[in-house]
Amino acid sequence: MGGISQQTNPNRKLRLAVLISGRGSNLQSIIDACRIDEFPAQIKVVISNIGDAYGLVRAHENNITTRFVSHKNFATKAEFETKILSILEEFEIDLVCLAGFMRILSPTLITPWEGRIINIHPSLLPKHKGLHTHERALEEGDSESGCTIHYVTPGMDEGEIILQKTVPIIAGDTPETLAARVLVQEHIAYPEAIRIMASKLQHNL
Ligand code: GRF
């Protein structure tokens, strides 16, 4: 009886690493969610490849440990990613959350974490992979946009979708007004996706 349930520890919170490069508003939404008692995760480390990323300030203000790892200090992408791998190991991370992390990762980092590394993208994937998503949604006359949380795989913005949130595109929208509308949904989506991941990963903890 109960082989799986014996391994399940519903009280054990998922240990998160959040990887950022900038403003960190999605990081903030995760920080805020983690303040809720029953939220099934806690941030153990914030890693930034940019030294003056505002997300690092947010982390410090919330007493969260940070690591600054500049990609410029490494001769190869593999060495940069190996450094990040060692930090993930140091903090016994369960789930890696990319939140505005502006480096394309290679299999060096992704393969050992496949299934436990997720990203937020500001479009309704598979539409508008890559950059300038809002400009492209407007140029193509889309009637709606939104955000996607997906697994990270070696193909950029191609991993299986965990959840999406949709917003309407309104006449007169600019990339900025659309980005702001999508961002509101991003901040709802990331905590929700972490809850989904917690229930998926719980039996492995
Ligand atoms: C967000 O729009 C996210 O979807 C994209 O980069 C932006 C990061 O914003 N990947 P922030 O740093 O979380 O405020």
Question: What was the pLDDT predicted at 3?
Answer: 38
Sign, CA torsion 36/37/39/42: positive
pLDDT number for residue 11: 72
The residue count of the chain comes to 205
What the chain holds in terms of domains, given with CATH numbers, is: 14-204 (3.40.50.170)
**Which atom from ligand 1 is nearest to the alpha carbon of 23?**
12
Q: Is the pLDDT of residue 5 over 70?
A: no
146 lines ligand 1 (CB under 6 A): no
Q: Distance of alpha carbon 75 from its chain centroid, rounded?
A: 26
Ligand 1 center from residue 100 Cα (angstroms): 4
pLDDT confidence band for 205 (50 / 70 / 90): low
pLDDT at 105 over 70: yes
Which residue's CA is the nearest one to ligand 1's atom 14?
25
| Averaged pLDDT, 38-57 | 98
203 pLDDT higher than 90: no
What's the maximum distance between 2 C-alpha atoms anywhere in the chain? 60
How far apart, in whole angstroms, are the C-alpha atoms of residue 3 and residue 201? 16
pLDDT at 154 over 50: yes
* Residue range 18-28: mean pLDDT, rounded: 98
Q: Which of 9-23, 74-88, 158-172 has the lowest mean pLDDT?
A: 9-23
Is 121 considered catalytic here?
Answer: yes
Q: What is the pLDDT of residue 4?
A: 42
**Whole-prediction pTM value?**
0.94
pLDDT at 6: 43
pLDDT reported for residue 202: 85
CA 124 / ligand 1 centre spacing (Å): 14
If you measure from the C-alpha of residue 2 to the centroid of ligand 1, how many angstroms do you get, rounded to a whole number? 41
Q: Do 18 and 27 form a contact (C-beta atoms < 8 A)?
A: yes
What pLDDT, in 10s, does the model give residues 131-148? Answer: 999 999 999 999 999 999
Q: What is the mean pLDDT of residues 179-191?
A: 98
The residue among 1 and 108 whose pLDDT is bigger is 108
Q: Report whether residue 157 contacts ligand 1, using a CB cutoff of 6 Å.
A: no
Q: What is the mean pLDDT of residues 158-187?
A: 98
Residue 18, pLDDT > 80, answer yes
**Ligand 1 and 24: CB distance under 6 A:** yes
